Amino acid sequence: MTYRVCFVCTGNICRSPMAESVLRARVAEAGLDGRVEVDSAGTGGWHEGDGADPRTVAVLVDNGYGGEHTARQFRPSWFSRLDLVIALDAGHLTALRRLAPTARDAEKVRLLRSYDPAAGDDLDVPDPYYGGMDGFEECLEMVEAASEGLLAAIREDLEGRAA
């Protein structure tokens, strides 16, 4: 059985494709390729069909990650096939929980930085879109820090299913 994760930010061109690329690499490193599917989307459809922001691609490639991506909008019907829906900030968390068809689906929505014990109370990954490259680099650092805890939680869920 495949475990499915979808990262969601605003337009699916900065934060969520970055998180998708990082977790996909962590999943491969952990040897879980065939068991975990990683995806991303945006709460809005403004950029549907576009690639990731060039600054996102540059930061990913400079750090050894893949930069291939096509933006799309999250659909409520996806909840039924997803195990986790990972929001990049509190606004996305609220919007996604509102979209959830059932209470069980709403429980699938979590904040990415909630998987980083060092994040403290600041669980938002700031949107780097209107800033410079340093914002994209900071975003990648936050995503990488949270991805280890997220991978551990996914592995725990997978083990629980196998038991």
Write the CATH number for 66. 3.40.50.2300
Residue 38 phi, psi (nearest 5): -120, 135
Query: Among the options 6, 9, 14, 139, which is catalytic?
Result: 9
Determine whether 9 is an active site residue: yes
Write the pLDDT tens digit of every residue in 18-59.
999 999 999 999 999 999 999 999 999 999 999 999 999 999
Q: Confirm if 146 and 115 have CB atoms less than 8 A apart.
A: yes
Question: Per the structure, how many domains does the chain have?
Answer: 1
Query: Among the options 4, 127, 155, 157, which is catalytic?
Result: 127
Q: How confident is the model at residue 162 (pLDDT cuts 50, 70, 90)?
A: confident
Partnered with residue 39 across adjacent β-strands are 6
Q: What do you get for the CA distance between the two ends of the chain, in Å?
A: 13
Q: How confident is the model at residue 91 (pLDDT cuts 50, 70, 90)?
A: very high
Distance CA 48, CA 42 (A): 9
- Give the model's pLDDT for residue 1: 84
Percentage above 70 pLDDT, the chain = 100
Domain span including residue 21 = 3-162
Query: Among the options 14, 15, 110, 124, which is catalytic?
Result: 15
Model confidence pTM above 0.75: yes
CA–centroid distance for 34 within its chain: 18
